[in-house]
Amino acid sequence: MAKKTLRDIDVKHKRVLVRTDFNVPLSSDGSVLDNFRIKAALPTINYLKENKAKIILMSHLGRPKGKVVDKLKMDPVAKELSNLLGAPVKKLNDCIGEEVNKAIANAHYGDVLLLENLRFHKGEKENDTEFAKKLASLGDIYVDDAFATAHRIAASNVGITAFLPSVAGFLMEKEITNLTKVLTAPEHPFVAILGGAKVSDKIGVISNLMNKVEAFLIGGGMCFTFLKSKGYRIGYSLCEEDKLSTANDIMKEAEQKNIRIVLPSDIVSVGEVKQEAPAKTVDIEEIPKDGIGVDIGPKTVASFKKELSKAKTIVWNGPLGVFEIEKFAKGTYDIAEFLGELKGKTIVAGGGETVAALRKFGVDKKITHISTGGGAFLKFLEGKSLPAIEAIEDRN
């Protein structure tokens, strides 16, 4: 990898400031609902503990907009992390200031401290130089292990690198290595599964992958913009009217380049998007005038599986139905389960709902790489540079 990593520096008896992404969902009682991102940071934290560093972790949580919001304090994260590490994590009451400096000075090498929510300070999102300087004063070395925020410019992931030696943590390194390999040296056939609500969210990804893949499998709400552009009636299904010509252009380009775009041949249709709504599976030629498409049907699942079974490299982003409602998540789950059965393939997936589906079936352990990023994952697939990654020092 072109960027410096933890392996390139000596951390022993150093104060190491680590940007993590612990922006995790919390339950109504304030406990952590999903610890996926916290667990992803453990290799970096454990390495620093073993190598006798003072470990100062920092993250944001939610959108407090520069104000202290009690329900967005980092205490539940500290508790969950402590359970995972099997060691105490000292959570501080701020992320800068005299008390923070004192706590770090009094900490022992191997201790883990967690700063309070970075976004309680406006300077974080504004990439304020003075705020970045105050954060930097807490450490001797800066480690960026927060891939999920790498597409954002903030004081804690870009501004801070002006004041400290900066390297990638093991999670960041893993993300960059796996995603770069998929984009630059994929084994063919290469198939991309794209879902989610909007074509507009995926135009950049489609454009960048157009010369790399053999097939796009398209589901989710975005498929109806493609179907309508082909002349199908889609009822009241989600459609971006201003993207009909874009969808048409994508299909024409794919045809010219001999790339298959596999659209649904059948869908699950309802009168309203509710769990209790009566649902029926119909071929796409028979979508009711008042119908709303909420999932891919069994024929579509079969056609997707056929393509995936031939692939050597698979990238997946976006659910294939209205995933939030269990009744309409079957298509997404069927494909997730199928991917877990495939052997000898490189499979990379990212995006909250996609990851949730893979984890529900325990498939996450069988996948080559599950990204912790949503927006950052998409930007990387678009071939865009991510500011926080650019800010990390180059190895040369």
Domain 186-381, CATH: 3.40.50.1260
- Given a cut of 90, is residue 324 above it in pLDDT? no
Burial environment of residue 289 by CB neighbours within 10 A (0 to 12, 13 to 18, 19 or more): exposed
- The answer on pLDDT for 267 being more than 80 is yes
Q: Which residues of 22-55 are buried (b: 16+ CB within 10 A; e: fewer)?
A: bbbebeeeeebebbbbbebbebbbbbbbebebbb
Q: Does residue 364 register a pLDDT over 90?
A: no
Model pLDDT, residue 2 = 92
Q: What is the pLDDT of residue 366?
A: 87
* Residues annotated as catalytic (active site), given as ranges: 37, 198, 352, 375
Residue 361 has pLDDT above 80, yes or no: no
Q: What's the rounded mean pLDDT across residues 182-186?
A: 96
pTM of the model: 0.94
Domain 6-172 shares a fold with domain 186-381? yes
Task: Read off the pLDDT band of 1 (50, 70, 90).
Answer: confident
Q: Which of 185-194, 305-314, 346-355, 379-388 has the lowest mean pLDDT?
A: 346-355
Please report which confidence band the pLDDT of residue 206 belongs to, taking 50, 70 and 90 as the band edges.
Answer: very high
Q: How high is the mean pLDDT of the chain?
A: 96
- Level-2 CATH architecture, domain 6-172: 3-Layer(aba) Sandwich (3.40)
Average pLDDT over residues 250-262: 98
> pLDDT band at 10, cuts 50/70/90?
very high
Of all residues in the chain, what percent carry a pLDDT higher than 90? 94
Domain boundary assignment for the chain: 6-172, 186-381
**Dihedral (CA of 180, 183, 188, 193) sign:** positive
Q: What is the pLDDT averaged over residues 89-106?
A: 98
User: 252: how many CB neighbours lie within 10 A of its CB?
Assistant: 10
